[in-house]
C-alpha cells in the first residue's frame, strides 16, 4: 500500500515540477487522462529507482554526506531523477502503439536538482496524508 501511495505522490510531484520548470517535460498527451497515466508510470519508475538504486548511491557517497552535512543528498536526488529520465526516455516507443506517449525529459542537472526538491516536498506531503498511520 505504501508503494502505491509513493507512486501517487511522485506523480503529483512530477506534475507540479513539469508545470513549474521549463527544463522538464513529458511527451505530448492528447488528453488529461493520458497525461495522468504517463505521470503514474514515471512516478512508478521513480519509486523503483529510489527504492533500488538510491540506497546503493547513499552507501557509496556516505563520506560526501558527512563532509557536506547532508547537502550531498540534493546531488543524489538529482541524479536519481536524471536516471529516471533516461529510463523513461527509453519507454517512449513502448506506449506508442497504445496511443500513450510515456516518458520524462529533464534538460540539465540543475533542473533535476530543483525538480527533485519539488517532487520530494509534494510526495512527502501526499504520503503523510494518504500513507499508513502508525499508532
State pLDDT tens for residues 56-95: 999 999 999 999 999 999 999 999 999 999 998 877 666 5
Sequence-separated (6 or more) residues with CB below 8 Å from residue 123? 6, 9, 10, 12, 13
Domain of 99, in residue numbers: 2-130
Tell whether 135 is covered by a domain.
Answer: no
pTM > 0.85:
yes
- Structural contact between residues 16 and 125, judged by C-beta atoms closer than 8 angstroms: no
The domain tally of the chain equals 1
- Say if 93 falls within a structural domain: yes
Task: Return the pLDDT at 37.
Answer: 85
Any domain includes 126: yes
Count Cα neighbours of 122 within 13 Å in the Cβ-side half-sphere: 20
Amino acid at each position: 500500500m505504501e508503494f502505491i501511495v509513493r507512486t501517487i505522490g511522485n506523480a503529483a510531484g512530477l506534475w507540479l515540477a513539469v508545470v513549474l520548470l521549463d527544463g522538464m517535460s513529458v511527451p505530448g498527451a492528447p488528453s488529461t487522462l493520458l497525461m495522468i497515466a504517463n505521470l503514474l508510470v514515471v512516478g512508478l519508475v521513480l519509486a523503483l529507482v529510489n527504492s533500488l538504486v538510491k540506497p546503493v548511491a547513499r552507501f557509496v557517497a556516505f563520506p560526501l554526506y558527512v563532509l557536506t552535512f547532508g547537502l550531498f543528498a540534493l546531488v543524489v536526488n538529482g541524479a536519481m531523477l536524471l536516471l529516471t529520465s533516461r529510463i523513461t526516455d527509453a519507454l517512449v516507443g513502448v506506449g506508442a502503439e497504445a496511443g500513450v506517449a510515456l516518458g520524462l525529459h529533464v534538460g540539465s542537472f540543475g533542473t533535476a536538482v530543483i525538480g527533485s526538491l519539488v517532487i520530494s516536498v509534494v510526495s512527502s506531503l501526499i504520503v503523510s496524508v494518504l500513507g499508513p498511520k502508525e499508532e
